[in-house]
Amino acid sequence: MVLAELGGSISRALQQMSNATIIDEKVLAECLNEITRALLQADVQFKLVRDMTNNIKKIVNLDDLAAGHNKRRIIQQAIFNELCKMLDPGKPSFTPKKGKTSVVMFVGLQGSGKTTTCTKYAFYHQKKGWKPALVCADTFRAGAFDQLKQNATKAKIPFYGSYMESDPVKIAVEGVERFKKENCDLIIVDTSGRHKQEAALFEEMRQVSEATKPDLVIFVMDSSIGQAAFDQAQAFKQSVAVGAVIVTKMDGHAKGGGALSAVAATKSPVIFIGTGEHMDEFEVFDVKPFVSRLLG
């Protein structure tokens, strides 16, 4: 996983700084350059990296730090805090409550792992005693309903969809209504993904959202999307009220930096990550432990 390499590069930069006898402007600048390089290589958006290093320079004013201050610790803490800030938009996302009906809509490009992630999300909650249900409002991709049906059947999760109906709004509304009547507490609506950010995709998403009034819209993003992540995430956010992000395929060779960009673009937290194709390869995402691991 390239994120591990990112962590390695950052810890090496910190280690090099720790090895220096005196920490002056030059040593700090070298350390920040190394970190900048590592973040850019991991596909974090340039502007985010620049803002981060500027903030660190502002916080760590070496002239103001009297002798005796542990400069290394202050610098390390500032780097830790800035990385956390990049991944934490400052407000938590809406969190569904067990026993109380919530509608959660999933959006993302085709191939991002959206349908797989819907089932993982349902399965995760089912294991904790929830009553989830899946609605397939993807009428665009042939086979989307079959895929959802197969996954749902395997996990014993109720599902709704249609081979005949071509109107995703109608299916979404019918599915949500049915599962509300059946007292499901987590109704998950899978929407169409397209290859690129077509206007029709966004219009359809907007209509499904308007008709089902989701409590939470989750943007699913493939971690290998790289530098394109920021613009993509922003385009989705502009059409529907994205409230949380799930980053998939963190097990692969993805650089993962796109996750940081998606948070910045949507001002929404990453709530889970996908770490494999299987239903249980799904982890809650917590900023601080993640950054601690990253820094080694």
Contact residues toward ligand GDP (CB under 6 A) are 108, 110-116, 193, 248-249, 251-252, 274-277
Residue with Cβ nearer ligand GDP (99 or 111): 111
Residue with Cβ nearer ligand GDP (31 or 136): 136
Neighbouring CB atoms inside 10 A of 210's CB total: 11
Q: Kindly report the CA angle at 152 between 197 and 172, in degrees rounded to 5?
A: 50
Q: Which tokens sit at 93?
A: 């996302």
135 and 179 Cβ atoms separated by less than 8 Å: yes
**Shortest CB 189 distance to ligand GDP, Å:** 13
Backbone phi and psi for residue 104, each to the nearest 5 degrees, phi listed first? -120, 125
Residue with Cβ nearer ligand GDP (89 or 108): 108
280 and 126 Cβ atoms separated by less than 8 Å: no
Q: Give the span between the Cα atoms of 17 and 11, in whole angstroms.
A: 10
**Shortest CB 228 distance to ligand GDP, Å:** 16
Write out the H or E segment, with its range, that includes residue 205. helix 199-212
**Shortest CB 72 distance to ligand GDP, Å:** 37
**Shortest CB 246 distance to ligand GDP, Å:** 9
Residue with Cβ nearer ligand GDP (224 or 266): 224
Neighbouring CB atoms inside 10 A of 95's CB total: 11
> H helices then E strands: how many in the chain?
11, 8
How do 270-274 and 282-284 pair as beta strands? Answer: antiparallel
**Shortest CB 157 distance to ligand GDP, Å:** 15
Residue with Cβ nearer ligand GDP (76 or 275): 275
84 and 291 Cβ atoms separated by less than 8 Å: yes
Residue with Cβ nearer ligand GDP (53 or 115): 115
Of all residues in the shown chain, the one whose CB is closest to ligand GDP is 274
**Shortest CB 190 distance to ligand GDP, Å:** 7
